[in-house]
Amino acid sequence: MVISVRERGVAAPRSLEPDLVSGLQRYVLRHRDLTLTSVFQPIFSLSHLRAVGYEALLRAHDIFDRPVPPLDVFGDAARQSELHYVDRLAQSLHLENFKTLHAEREWLFLNIHAGALADSYHEAALRAHLDRLELSPRRIVLELQAVRAEDFDKLADEARRFREQGFLIALDDFGAGDSNLERIWQLDPDIVKVDRMMLSQAAHRTQAAAILPGFVAMLHEAGKLVLIEGVETEHEAQLAFSCDADFVQGFHFGRPSPGVADSAYAAERIAALGECHRARTQARERARASRLAPYVRAFERAAERLAQGEPLDEVCWNFLALDHAARCFLLDEEGRQKGRNVVLRADRAGHEARFLPVADAQGANWMRRPYFHAAIEAPDRVHATRPYLSINEALPCVTLSVAVRIGTGLCVLCGDIDWQENAAGL
């Protein structure tokens, strides 16, 4: 194929030449003293157990066949005012090589420099190339990186225009640099690629690992699919799987290559993740149930005594005498607290003094809390929440609750347990 475009005094390369690599035909492109070609890193769906897309990556070699980092290629192009031109060359190369993969349904992820979106020539060249290759814009995911705050509104407008044409938009490297949640609302991407740095921190810091699932859930609530990139180890793969990410990308699943992904290899790895996740979840639930058992028994006895007419201050002692029991309290049918918290240990009062403004909970309304809803909806048993942050001390807490009929009214007895999961091995 011959490219005959000449722009702004910069000569276009003479041709895209077929080259055999590992038995596959692909195109290479000569630009100045460099030889450019494409490789594709697969992007896998953890639910579908297969590749659903490929990110196109540039590979360059100099006249001595030494590799040249892509950042150097684009950096040199920027210094010579050829950034958009080289960007177009790379995209043309990627599109040609993607077509040779014979991928019939997967997405092609194309990195695009922010300024190129506003270049009408760039847009026309991209559309013409897609038309010639009979590739629908719906097969193309444009990966955009964060730009300066003053330029972001313009980038968002251009992204919106491309989306209206059928392209998908991905926000790359989210969680690094200047990225923040405002970028999500402004750009409104279809896919958010979570930066590897967040995954690396989660792999080495327990607190970051605890936050990652909530972060992914928040992006889902915002209507965004989540791709975690840079997954390199088994541990990182488990974190990505456990946090309910939609897609993953990284060396653990597949390295960049000229051809399609090894589907059997990836499916085997993802299936193994599922089995490991199931086993660990079951083990965690068994350990949690074992740890809760003495608290539940004491709490059930307290509920029985409360239903028989004994005062709250008297029925909770056995529960509160357990090592990590924090407090008991009673709610009415509307979720309002009746009386104060019942606390046994003297050291508890001193610890709670730092949170004195919220120490007196008499009359507080806890109707929004899951423990209240669970008890009211299923009054025949004791319920235990998942660990959450207690407002009393800003510490992890599990709350037991059970509906108790006292006279003609229904009340909800609650008991808090201090819950440091890492300390308990959960």
The per-residue pLDDT for 207 is 80
Per-residue pLDDT band for 11 (boundaries 50, 70, 90) equals very low
pTM, two decimal places: 0.84
Is the pLDDT confidence value at 175 over 60?
A: yes
- Region 392-403 average pLDDT: 92
Out of 179-183, 342-346, 377-381, 391-395, give the one with best mean pLDDT.
Answer: 377-381
Tens digit of each residue's pLDDT (9 = 90 or more) over 215-271: 999 999 999 999 999 999 999 999 999 999 999 999 999 999 999 998 889 899 999
Is the pLDDT confidence value at 33 over 50?
A: yes
- Region 127-151 average pLDDT: 86
The per-residue pLDDT for 15 is 55
Per-residue pLDDT band for 394 (boundaries 50, 70, 90) equals confident
Is the pLDDT confidence value at 418 over 60?
A: yes
Tens digit of each residue's pLDDT (9 = 90 or more) over 295-348: 999 999 999 999 999 999 999 999 999 999 999 999 999 999 999 999 876 656
Tens digit of each residue's pLDDT (9 = 90 or more) over 57-101: 999 999 999 999 999 999 998 899 888 889 889 999 999 999 999
Tens digit of each residue's pLDDT (9 = 90 or more) over 104-124: 899 999 998 877 788 888 888
Q: 284-424 architecture in CATH?
A: 2-Layer Sandwich (3.30)
- Region 171-199 average pLDDT: 83
The per-residue pLDDT for 12 is 37
The per-residue pLDDT for 349 is 56
The per-residue pLDDT for 240 is 95
The per-residue pLDDT for 49 is 93
Is the pLDDT confidence value at 13 over 80?
A: no
Tens digit of each residue's pLDDT (9 = 90 or more) over 362-378: 899 999 999 999 999 99
Per-residue pLDDT band for 1 (boundaries 50, 70, 90) equals very low
Tens digit of each residue's pLDDT (9 = 90 or more) over 270-288: 999 999 999 999 999 999 9
The per-residue pLDDT for 173 is 85
Mean pLDDT, the chain, as a whole number? Answer: 87
Inter-residue contact 400 to 296 (CB < 8 Å): yes
The per-residue pLDDT for 380 is 82
6-261 is classed CATH 3.40.50.970: no
Cα–Cα dist 252/106, whole Å: 20
Report domain extents, the chain: 6-261, 284-424
